[in-house]
Amino acid sequence: MRKLVVYGESGKRYPVFLGRYLLNRDDWLGEVEFPSSQGVIITNSRVGPLYEEIVSSFFSQRGFTIQVVTIADGEEYKNLSTIEFIYNQLLSWGLDRKSFLLALGGGVITDITGFVASTFLRGITYFSIPTTLLAQVDSSIGGKTGINLPQGKNLVGTFYPPQGVFIDISLLRTLPAREYEEGLAEVAKTFFLAGGEALSLLEEKERILSRGEDLLEEIIFQSLSFKKRVVEEDEKEKGLRSILNYGHTIGHALERVEGYGRLRHGEAVALGMMGEAILGEKLGITPSKVVEKQREILIGLHLPTQLRDNIEREEFFAALRQDKKKEGGKPRLVFLEDFGQPIWGVEVEEEKIGEALSYLER
Ligand SMILES: NC(=O)c1ccc[n+]([C@@H]2O[C@H](COP(=O)([O-])OP(=O)(O)OC[C@H]3O[C@@H](n4cnc5c(N)ncnc54)[C@H](O)[C@@H]3O)[C@@H](O)[C@H]2O)c1
């Protein structure tokens, strides 16, 4: 088992445990501060039947009282109605400020649980048991919580770190290939930003795709270590943290135009990274060898680098305008001067982004 400790700006710190079969052992439990013995698992209709029983009995056997809220599965449920449904459940059980929440699921569940925890009774403790690769390498640390509005993704949210994160790699065995591969998009993004030796881990594409767990543990550890360094320096995204949005400006707009569900988040991020790399090349920032290497790695990880259909430009620009990372009306993007050398906050005209998009179309 490996352990990282993430420090927040407010001085708050939380442990992240990483390993296999964490729920078959409890040597890590003593290092975690639970505010009381009253906890509620927040999960969904797909992950719940797989793991909720294991998690509840783990805690019940150790003296905790655990209840479960199960919500519908899907990004489309990351909304205000779901939040209200969860508040109502928690109130009906008479939970107090010492109760805690346990997120059991992918990024949708960890984002929702963090949001509920940060607002319910003005803030209660929560922990995460992320069950997708994306959530294990990315959304489980850094403290961003959020929900979607009809106008766009993650438009409402808070910065509210968990009190502990338990990453069990064995939970990934039931994750379908498409969801696993889209998690690899966030891994690739992290390693493009980190550069150096981490990047060479991505060369082992066969072992990555067959989920070799030793390699996976190393990859998750390296991804988290990089993200930890970034969020510790800039938790509230005033500067450096925005590098983690590499591929996300174009990616989020594509995800919105294509419709959530049709193009999954990780796939949109892979396409977004390709679009932004090509745009960087056109602007004279990103060398063409970096663009080509990036394409080769993404293809090797079974990620899309070209769009299936052409994109309606007006819809795309409308989606782009919903993005939060812009000032003075112009989108601000992250570009790679090289692997390991990102620059951020680069203002780009919308038309230029539209031009880059045409290189992703067949
Ligand atoms: N807060 C952050 O810093 C941050 C960062 C990146 C992404 N996100 C958010 O994360 C969300 C995407 O997360 P995701 O890709 O994990 O999607 P997801 O939570 O929708 O999970 C993908 C699918 O896999 C299922 N699933 C999860 N774990 C499983 C398992 N072990 N076995 C079988 N099925 C399993 C889920 O039920 C779902 O159907 C987006 O809403 C995005 O905005 C947040």
Please report the sign of the dihedral spanned by the C-alpha atoms of residue 118, residue 15, residue 133, residue 130: negative
Q: Lowest mean pLDDT: which of 208-222, 248-262, 268-282?
A: 248-262
Q: Quick check: 17 pLDDT over 60? A: yes
pLDDT of residue 353: 92
Q: Active-site residue 302, yes or no?
A: no
pLDDT of residue 309: 85
pLDDT of residue 298: 97
224 Cβ contact partners less than 8 Å away, ≥ 6 residues apart: 4, 16, 18, 137, 141, 167
Q: Quick check: 265 pLDDT over 90? A: no
Q: Quick check: 251 pLDDT over 90? A: yes
Same domain, 83 and 209: no
Find the catalytic residue in 182, 245, 255, 332: 245
Specify the residue with its C-alpha closest to ligand 1, atom 34: 175
More confident of the two residues 48 and 9: 48
Q: How many domains in the chain? A: 2
Query: Ligand 1 center to residue 22 CA distance, Å?
Result: 20
Query: Rounded to 5 degrees, what are φ and ψ at 268?
Result: -65, -35
The pLDDT tens digits of the residues spanning 137-146 come to: 999 999 999 9
User: What range defines the domain where residue 247 resides?
Assistant: 177-220+233-358
Query: Ligand 1 center to residue 300 CA distance, Å?
Result: 22
Q: For residue 259, what is the domain's CATH number?
A: 1.20.1090.10
Same domain, 188 and 248: yes
Find the catalytic residue in 265, 276, 295, 332: 265
Q: Quick check: 317 pLDDT over 70? A: yes
| Ligand 1 atom at minimum distance from 154 CA | 43
pLDDT of residue 15: 96
Q: Predicted confidence band at 153 (pLDDT cuts at 50, 70, 90)? A: confident
Q: Quick check: 135 pLDDT over 90? A: yes
Considering the entire predicted model, what is its pTM? Answer: 0.94
pLDDT of residue 175: 98
Residue 141's nearest CA partner among 184, 80, 180, 190 is 190
d(CA 60, CA 48): 16
Query: Ligand 1 center to residue 45 CA distance, Å?
Result: 13
Mean pLDDT of the chain: 94
Q: Predicted confidence band at 171 (pLDDT cuts at 50, 70, 90)? A: very high
Residue 5's nearest CA partner among 217, 225, 332 is 225
Q: Quick check: 271 pLDDT over 60? A: yes
Query: Rounded to 5 degrees, what are φ and ψ at 138?
Result: -130, -70
pLDDT of residue 324: 60
pLDDT average, residue stretch 83-109: 97
| Ligand 1 atom at minimum distance from 135 CA | 16
Specify the residue with its C-alpha closest to ligand 1, atom 10: 107
Query: Ligand 1 center to residue 180 CA distance, Å?
Result: 10
pLDDT of residue 130: 98
Find the catalytic residue in 179, 181, 182, 186: 186
**29 lies in some domain:** yes
pLDDT average, residue stretch 80-98: 97
Same domain, 349 and 245: yes
Query: Ligand 1 center to residue 121 CA distance, Å?
Result: 26
Q: Active-site residue 12, yes or no?
A: no
Q: Predicted confidence band at 321 (pLDDT cuts at 50, 70, 90)? A: confident
**146 lies in some domain:** yes
d(CA 276, CA 33): 42
Find the catalytic residue in 78, 144, 189, 332: 144
Q: Lowest mean pLDDT: which of 80-89, 147-156, 244-253?
A: 147-156
Count, in order, helices (H) and strands (E) of the chain.
Answer: 13, 12
Specify the residue with its C-alpha closest to ligand 1, atom 14: 107
Same domain, 72 and 99: yes
**226 lies in some domain:** no
Query: Ligand 1 center to residue 320 CA distance, Å?
Result: 23
Same domain, 6 and 97: yes
Same domain, 269 and 136: no
Q: Active-site residue 122, yes or no?
A: yes
Q: Quick check: 128 pLDDT over 70? A: yes
The ligand 1 site (C-beta within 6 Å) comprises 44, 46-47, 50, 73, 75, 78, 105-109, 111, 131-132, 134-135, 138-139, 142, 144, 153-154, 171-172, 174-175, 179, 182, 265
pLDDT of residue 330: 80
pLDDT of residue 322: 78
**225 lies in some domain:** no
Same domain, 182 and 74: no
Q: Quick check: 342 pLDDT over 60? A: yes
Q: Quick check: 323 pLDDT over 80? A: no
- For 233, the enclosing helix (H) or strand (E) is helix 213-233
Same domain, 14 and 136: yes
pLDDT average, residue stretch 244-266: 88
The pLDDT tens digits of the residues spanning 173-229 come to: 999 999 999 999 999 999 999 999 889 999 999 999 999 999 999 999 999 999 999
